[in-house]
């Protein structure tokens, strides 16, 4: 559904794995694109999700964040460790290592499913933005702000005389001399 929507619901634009894999364009996609897409998702789910991600990143010129790279890297490392444990368990014949490899495989599958779900949610949000499904935004999120640093210049004062650090403002008296002293009762006031 997300790939079809990424193609603007025009299945004549469909290519296996969005053109990012060596098999792309060689699977007879132009004859029956819906069947090929269904087969792609069923047999190569990970490649299908990644291909849709690449397609949208190329269309919108979106870069993968460092956080996304860390999550995807963690997912791959966990899968590789599970594979290594499985191979070692097969060679050694240890039941403990075999059990550890099964636990790692299960954990790797859970992380994989979670990452794929997060990617697909990102796909949907980007396409909702593209297609205007969010509607008019009355208030936008403010830009990211940073706390000031010592190496940044101090902003100009807003109407008050700048005080030296650690020194109080000079005493000017209250009320300022420019105002006449108050009269009691105020003039024009009658009982």
Q: Of 50, 66, 71, give the one whose Cα is nearest residue 123.
A: 50
Asked if residue 22 has pLDDT above 80, the reply is yes
- The b-or-e profile of 16-25 (16+ CB within 10 A means b, else e) is bbbebbeeee
pLDDT band with cut points at 50, 70 and 90 for residue 17: confident
Spatial separation of the C-alpha atoms in residues 95 and 79, rounded to whole Å: 20
Asked if residue 139 has pLDDT above 90, the reply is no
Classify residue 9 by burial, with Cβ atoms within 10 Å: 0-12, 13-18, 19+.
exposed
Task: Tokens 């550890």: give the residue.
Answer: 100
**Hey, what are 137's tokens?**
């935004």
**Residue 183 or residue 60, greater confidence:** 60
Q: In the predicted model, what is the mean pLDDT of residues 156-180?
A: 55
pLDDT at 60: 86
Asked if residue 154 has pLDDT above 70, the reply is no
Spatial separation of the C-alpha atoms in residues 191 and 189, rounded to whole Å: 7
pTM: 0.61
pLDDT in tens, 52-67: 998 998 888 888 888 8
Task: Tokens 């291909």: give the residue.
Answer: 51
pLDDT in tens, 113-125: 888 888 899 899 8
Under a CB-based contact definition with an 8 Å cutoff, are residues 29 and 14 in contact? yes
**Residue 71 or residue 148, greater confidence:** 71
Spatial separation of the C-alpha atoms in residues 19 and 55, rounded to whole Å: 9
pLDDT band with cut points at 50, 70 and 90 for residue 77: very high
Spatial separation of the C-alpha atoms in residues 21 and 36, rounded to whole Å: 14
Q: In the predicted model, what is the mean pLDDT of residues 173-177?
A: 54
Domain boundaries, the chain: 1-63, 64-132
Q: What is the sign, positive or negative, of the torsion defined by CA atoms of 78, 81, 87, 89?
A: negative
pLDDT band with cut points at 50, 70 and 90 for residue 172: low
The pLDDT > 90 percentage for the chain reads 11
Query: Average model confidence (pLDDT) for the chain?
Result: 79
Distance between start and end Cα atoms, the chain: 82
């Amino acid at each position: 559904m997300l790939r079809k929507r990424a193609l603007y619901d025009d299945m004549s634009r469909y290519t296996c794995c969005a053109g990012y894999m060596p098999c792309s364009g060689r699977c007879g996609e132009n004859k029956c694109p819906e069947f090929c897409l269904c087969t792609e998702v069923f047999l190569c789910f990970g490649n299908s999700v990644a291909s849709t991600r690449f397609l949208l990143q190329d269309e919108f010129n979106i870069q993968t964040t460092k956080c996304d790279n860390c999550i995807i890297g963690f997912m791959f490392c966990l899968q590789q460790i599970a594979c290594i444990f499985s191979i070692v368990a097969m060679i050694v014949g240890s039941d403990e290592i075999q059990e550890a490899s099964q636990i790692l495989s299960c954990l790797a599958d859970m992380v994989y499913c979670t990452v794929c779900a997060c990617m697909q949610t990102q796909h949907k949000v980007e396409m909702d933005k593209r297609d205007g499904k969010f509607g008019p935004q009355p208030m936008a999120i403010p830009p990211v702000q940073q706390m000031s640093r010592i190496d940044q210049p101090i902003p100009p004062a807003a109407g008050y005389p700048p005080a030296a650090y650690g020194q109080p403002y000079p005493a000017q008296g209250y009320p300022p001399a420019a105002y006449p002293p108050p009269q009691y009762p105020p003039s024009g006031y009658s009982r």
